[in-house]
Amino acid sequence: MRCLTAWCMKNFFFKPFLNWFGFTRRERRASFLLLILIFIVAGFRYIIPQRNIIIEEIPVKIMKTSVTGSDFSKSINNPQRELVELNTSDSASLEVLPGIGPVLSVRIIKFRKLLGGFASVDQLREVYGLSEEVFNIISSRVYVDTSAVKKININKAGYKDIRRLPYFDNYEVNVILKYRKLKGSISCIGEMVDNKLITPEKAKKVRPYLEFGE
């Protein structure tokens, strides 16, 4: 009787059920193990008590400084930088300036030699290849020591000495020499302008480079 009951359940209940899913014996075993694993995982929620983690607030002290908002903006807009002196700096010192590479640094030094030294920062505008944009950036980071300017004694210098200054052209040098020969000497830059040896505009450029001693 017991064997008959088992045979009936196997053939009339379980077999149609299993055939409907189409499971093999191995798949049935894997499904059974998966169900057991799901029940175990779900049971952990009730078996293991939940722990509430309390995060303690750590007080943060804000250090007050004496720097005001305006002072901070000044420190950003005007950072402390070492100024570069144009008449004594070498190419390496000039290349520290933004926008000045090896080529421009060499041109600055060559132009400085032609002038006999920079008398004004604005003269950097006359360096070939140095743009106005670069000048505006570096003008506040450079300065000139005018005591380093090599002056020309207009009453003693010869043609080559006067012509060395790039602001003079050949015609102006010849006129100056003829006037000096005629008058003996030139007293000041104003005399050169009054006698039309040079223009007032030219006088502004050459004034720092001329001296009138006997």
Q: Is the pLDDT of residue 39 over 90?
A: no
Q: Is residue 107 part of a domain?
A: yes
Q: pLDDT by residue (tens digit) across 42-92? A: 766 666 555 554 545 544 443 333 333 433 333 334 445 689 999 999 999
CB-CB contact of 91 with 102 (8 Å): yes
125, 157: one domain: no
Residue 121 per-residue DSSP state? G
Q: Is residue 74 part of a domain?
A: no
What average pLDDT score do residues 119-130 get? 96
pTM, to two decimals: 0.60
DSSP for 150-198 reads PPEETTT--HHHHHTSTT--HHHHHHHHHHHHHHS----HHHHHHTTSS
| Distance of alpha carbon 36 from alpha carbon 33, whole angstroms | 5
| Distance of alpha carbon 86 from alpha carbon 139, whole angstroms | 11
Q: Is residue 168 part of a domain?
A: yes
Mean pLDDT over each residue of the chain, to the nearest integer: 80
| Distance of alpha carbon 101 from alpha carbon 209, whole angstroms | 28
Task: Supply the Cα-derived Rg of the chain in whole angstroms.
Answer: 47
Range of the domain at 200: 152-211
Residue whose entry in the numeric block shows the structure tokens 């944009």: 133
Q: Is residue 73 part of a domain?
A: no
Where residue 93 sits, what CATH number does that domain have? 1.10.150.320
